[in-house]
Each structure stands twice: as C-alpha cells, then as structure tokens.
C-alpha cells in the first residue's frame, strides 16, 4: 500500500503519559470525522480539531510508495543513534492507513510505535502504545489501550462509561479553543472530582514546539 503523509517532524511528545520523549511524528493525511475543510467544520462529527491534515504538502510530507520508504524516512528524521527510537503515528486519523507492512517496517527499524487515534477503527495489534481520544457523537470500537485521552469539556461524553473501558491511564486534556482558560478550570475540576483521571497538558504548545 502507499501512504499519504501530511508532514513528518522530530520533536518531543507533548501530550499524555509519554510526554517529554524525543519522538518522530508521522502525520497521516485525512480523517473520518472531519474533512479538514473549514467550511465543513460546523457539521463535522469532530469540530474542535487543532490540526491541518489535508494533503501531503507539509514539511517532509509526501506520498510514500511503500512501507520501507516511509520507515526509512522516519529513521532519517530520527537522525540519532539506534537507542530509544520512538515514532508517533497521528493525523488526521492514522488507522485509515496504518497496516501490517508499516508496523513491521517500523519495528525492523527499531522503533517503539505509538499511535494517536480517535478510536472509531480498531487499532493495529502490533502497536506498542495506544492512545485513544474519543469524540462525542462517534462510536468508539477501540475500548482498550494504554491511555484514554479525553478532550474536555465535550458535551455528550459518558465519563462514567469510559471508566469501565480497559485503559491503564485515564487522561483529561483541556480543549484548546477561544475558552482555553475556562476549559482548563473545567478539566482540573473533573480531576478533583474523579481521582482516577489526571490532567494532560499540550506541553508542546506551552514550549513553542511543533
């Protein structure tokens, strides 16, 4: 299979339990919950997306003809030794494109593979770290993984039901929009009420990283 990649970059993982780790991000083009066009945002299932995932025109983006080519590009982007190689597959919705060949090629290159997914498509079983971020109004089929990262506030989310899903870590991430300060307060209040949850900040934004 070929892969449409919006952009690829080396940074620190900004969010979740793996925050602070040196990471290659592979941002796949396209999502099943929003077209990515501003004129469609108001009627999309997911309306708060902070990311441009349309096309393959970002820095180090492109169409990769095969898994080996994409894994080679990730190794080049890592630009370090063979130790602790860490890749984050995101998007857009990465599970629209991730397949056996890509997981095998990235593992052969020595990567620990993390994914950021909206949970509407079962994630590939070979992935080493699964982060699911549910969106109200979508059906979540992937109810197990390493971390559940709920953007907050999200009217229509059943937090109690999510506590029954099979995740090692439950995270609340303040919605980054025009009401960011109030959203942070709401997220902190939820953690104070439900101590199984903890706060995830988008630290890359605080630090001025990508």
Ligand X SMILES: C[S@@+](CC[C@H](N)C(=O)[O-])C[C@H]1O[C@@H](n2cnc3c(N)ncnc32)[C@H](O)[C@@H]1O
State the DSSP string of 46-95. Answer: --------SSS-STT-EEESSHHHHHHHHHHHH-S-STT-EEEEESS-GG
- The whole-angstrom separation of Cα 131 and Cα 112 is 14
Selected from 149, 167, 170, 171, the binder of ligand X by CB under 6 A is: 149
Residues in 129-148 at the binding interface with ligand SF4, rule: CB under 6 A: 135
Q: Which is nearer to ligand SF4, 60 or 133 (CB)?
A: 133
User: Which of these, 195, 209, 207, 198, lies nearest to 174 by C-alpha position?
Assistant: 198
Interface stretch with ligand X, choices 63-71, 90-98, 106-114, 137-145 (CB under 6 A): 90-98
Q: Which is nearer to ligand X, 97 or 133 (CB)?
A: 133
Q: Interface with ligand X includes 31 (CB under 6 A)? A: yes
Selected from 14, 36, 92, 145, the binder of ligand 2KA by CB under 6 A is: 14
Q: Interface with ligand X includes 51 (CB under 6 A)? A: yes
Interface stretch with ligand 2KA, choices 11-19, 65-73, 105-113, 180-188 (CB under 6 A): 11-19
Supply the minimum distance, in Å, between the C-beta of residue 204 and ligand 2KA: 3
DSSP code for 23: E
Q: Interface with ligand X includes 7 (CB under 6 A)? A: no
* 49 in a labelled binding site: yes
Q: Which positions are annotated as active-site residues?
A: 25, 31, 46, 49-51, 116, 204
Binding residues for [4Fe-4S] cluster: 31, 46, 49
């Amino acid at each position: 299979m070929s892969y449409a990649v919006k952009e690829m970059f080396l940074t620190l993982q900004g969010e979740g339990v793996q925050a602070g780790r040196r990471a290659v991000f592979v941002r796949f083009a396209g999502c099943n919950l929003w077209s990515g066009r501003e004129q469609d945002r108001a009627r999309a299932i997911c309306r708060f997306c902070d990311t441009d995932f349309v096309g393959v025109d970002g820095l180090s983006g492109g169409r990769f003809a095969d898994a080996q080519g994409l894994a080679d590009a990730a190794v080049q982007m890592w630009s370090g030794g063979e130790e602790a190689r860490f890749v984050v597959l995101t998007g857009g919705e990465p599970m629209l494109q991730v397949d056996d060949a890509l997981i095998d090629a990235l593992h052969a290159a020595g990567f620990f593979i993390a994914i950021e997914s909206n949970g509407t498509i079962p994630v590939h079983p070979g992935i080493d770290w699964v982060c699911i971020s549910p969106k109200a109004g979508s059906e979540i089929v992937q109810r197990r993984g390493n971390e559940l990262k709920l953007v907050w506030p999200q009217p229509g989310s059943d937090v109690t039901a999510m506590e029954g899903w099979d995740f090692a870590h439950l995270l609340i991430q303040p919605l980054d929009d025009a009401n960011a300060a109030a959203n942070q307060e709401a997220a902190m209040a939820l953690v104070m009420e439900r101590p199984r949850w903890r706060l995830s900040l988008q630290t890359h934004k605080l630090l001025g990283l990508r």
